[in-house]
Each structure stands twice: as C-alpha cells, then as structure tokens.
Amino acid sequence: MSFDGLAPHYRWMELVLAGNKLQRCRMAFLDKAASPEHVLILGEGNGRFLLECRRHLDRARITCVDSSRRMLALAHERLKRHHVPSTGIDFIHADALDWQPPANAFDVIVTHFFLDCFRPDQLRGLVANLAQAARPKAQWLLADFWVPASGLPRARARAIHRIMYIFFRLACHLPARKLSPPDTMLEAHGFRLQDRRLSEWGLLHSDWWRREPGVDPVEG
C-alpha cells in the first residue's frame, strides 16, 4: 500500500469530493485530549490534522507515522507554510503493520481515515500493537467512514464505499476490500467508547474512546 502517487493530488481531491467534511470529523474530539505528554498519529497524510494538533497541543510530543514519504514531506511543508514550528514532532516513515511503537508511551492515539485501509486480520494485529503502546488512561481519537443500519442512508453509504474501495485498491494497492469496524477490537484492549458523532446521513463518524481504569484487556 502506497499513497505516494496520490500525495500531490490528495488535498484538491478531498476538497472537491468532501469539502471540509472530513476535517470536521478529524477535529471533532481534539478538545478532549487535555494536556497530553505524547501523542501518536497514524496515517496522517498531508498534515491537515497535524497542523491543528500542534496548535492546540503546543506542549505535547507528537509522533507522526506514515508509509508515504511524500505525505510526510507535505505535512512538514504545511507546518512551515503556516509558520507552526515542527519542534517536538517526530516524523517516522514506516508501514504501520511493521512498525513497533514503544510500550506504554502514548496518552493519545489518533487514527483518522486510516483503519479502513486494512483487512480484518491486519486490523486485529494493528490495534493490538497500538494498544500496548497506550498508557493505562489513554484516549483514542478516530474518524472514519460508516455504514448505517438500514434504509436509503445504508444503500447510499454502501454504494459510496464500493466506489471508494475500487479506486483506492487500483491507485494505492489498498489491502481492504470493505470496511471493518474496529469497535470490538478496541474494546478487547480495554477501550470504551465515550462519544460518537455521525454525519452525512451516517456516512461518516467521529469517535472518542478512552481506556478506563480497572478494565482489563482481553488476552489473545
């Protein structure tokens, strides 16, 4: 999977196809991340969320991991263009499936429009790997696509997902062929959903998860 080829075009594609809707989803629960020491952002892309994260959490250490060198370069350039210092930000070029984060290191984990890229078997391993890097009271912020339960919203979402996955499989060799919600995987590692906001007829959702004290992760 590589987004290098799409990197120069991703911003205008998002603007044309979704306007500011995806960014609103990314930003939905950033205010819940109160004074974290260390934030991990996976699959950040061209840096739209990173820019706002740095502005809001100016004292946090941020680790930004992406498999695309060109996306990381665009994210770094976005900070520079907006005169936001990159001090305290570690840019790591790595495949999230192979990267090994330090244990018990992060107060906040962010996966916006990223977990939908993976097959269920890959997603289980990825969530487990990230969960061991999360601190006991860590928060997990994520935004992604969603499939409503029934009716026209469900039919609309399924049609959009079908087109989206065909395109990204061809353009980026995306492993996933359909959406695999990570809810049960997060719950298995001690995270509990605090709030979920749906938008665009249920096509998009933003989540705020938190690892609750006294909740033991499920083994295996």
What domains are defined for the chain? 7-210 (3.40.50.150)
Secondary structure (DSSP) of 118-168:
S-HHHHHHHHHHHHHHEEEEEEEEEEEE---SSHHHHHHHHHHHHHHHHHH
Express each pLDDT in 42-76 by its tens digit: 999 899 999 999 999 999 999 999 999 999 999 99
Q: Mean pLDDT, to the nearest integer, of 122-136?
A: 97
pLDDT digits (tens, 9 = 90+) for 102-117: 999 999 999 999 999 9
